Chains A and B, each alone.
Chain A
Amino acid sequence: MAEAGTRLVLLMTPAGQVMAQHGFTRAVDVMAAAALGAAIASSTEEITKLLREPRFAVLNHQGVRHGIFLAAFDCPRGRLLSLAVYGPETSVGLVQLFFEEFVSDLIAACPPPEPPKKVLPADFERDLNESLATLFQA
């Protein structure tokens, strides 16, 4: 995505959980952008439901100095969102083009989904204890 001249890029889940970022210097900005991006995607998703349209793919807001490109796509492990902020030195066409390549690379790199495991009480207790230990160690 950096090849497209984007200034900021976020990769996140539809719930706003950040998976990767490029260009942000403060963690608080990453979290705010992820939360707002996920909210926009969620709102748009509801509008498409009202209109009985297929799921939205790309949303572009063109500003005077910056453009915001928000796109949703399906990966083998589930749906993801990407938020990119670009300036006047690039164009939405270029961002879209490199975004498509980014998605292809990401899908190719994504491990196949794991079959759901049966949760046993013993495993659950062990996982819980491990999680608690990790949490309180930190």
Chain B
Amino acid sequence: MTDRFRAILDSITRVRGVQGAALVAREDGVVVADALVEGVRGNAVAALTASLVKRLGDVTGTAGIGEPEFLHLQSRGGVVLAVPATQEIIVVAVADADVNVGLLRLEMLRAAGTVA
């Protein structure tokens, strides 16, 4: 992993409650760089999140509101957040349910700006 990617992921993972973050290839759904705790299947999160972003992009496109900018998927055990940074990269974070989503969103948008 390059230092640049490491720095981007560190800025996200230092938010309290974050279990990990990854940069995912948008078209391929494969991990470009990740910093995930053990037990989180990086390749599964990458593939399924990329697929979700693609599908939701179809929904928002059909609704005429453009591409999604921020995805927040809340489940009982935690949250998955995604920010399509460029046409190639998605920034993904997996966090505990009680994470400060506002702060995490800010860090992810900042990280997305750095990727771009």
CB distance from A73 to the nearest CB of B (A): 16
Among the 9-residue stretches A8-16, A17-25, A87-95, A119-127, the one with 4 or more Cβ atoms under 8 Å from chain B is A87-95
- The tally of residues in A whose CB lies under 8 Å from a CB in B reads 9
Task: Report the contact-size class of chain B (Cβ under 8 Å from the partner).
Answer: 10 to 19
Residue of A nearest to B31 (CB): A93
Instruction: Give the shortest distance, in Å, between B64 (CB) and chain A (any CB).
Output: 22
Q: How far is A91 from B25 in the complex, measured between Cα atoms in Å?
A: 10
Residues in A with CB closer than 8 Å to B48 are 94, 97
What residue in chain A is nearest B49 (Cβ atoms)? A93
C-alpha gap A130/B27 in the complex (Å): 54
Measured CA separation A100–B42 after assembly (Å):
13
- Tell me which residues across on chain B come within 8 A of A96, comparing CB atoms: 30, 43, 47
- Least CB distance from A35 to B in Å reads 28
What is the interface of chain B, defined by CB distance below 8 A to chain A? 24-25, 27-30, 43-44, 46-48, 50-51, 54
For the complex of A and B, the 10 pairs showing the least CB-CB separation, nearest first, are A93-B29, A93-B47, A91-B29, A97-B47, A93-B30, A94-B47, A92-B28, A91-B28, A97-B44, A94-B29
Q: A residues within 8 Å of B by Cβ? A: 62, 90-94, 96-97, 100
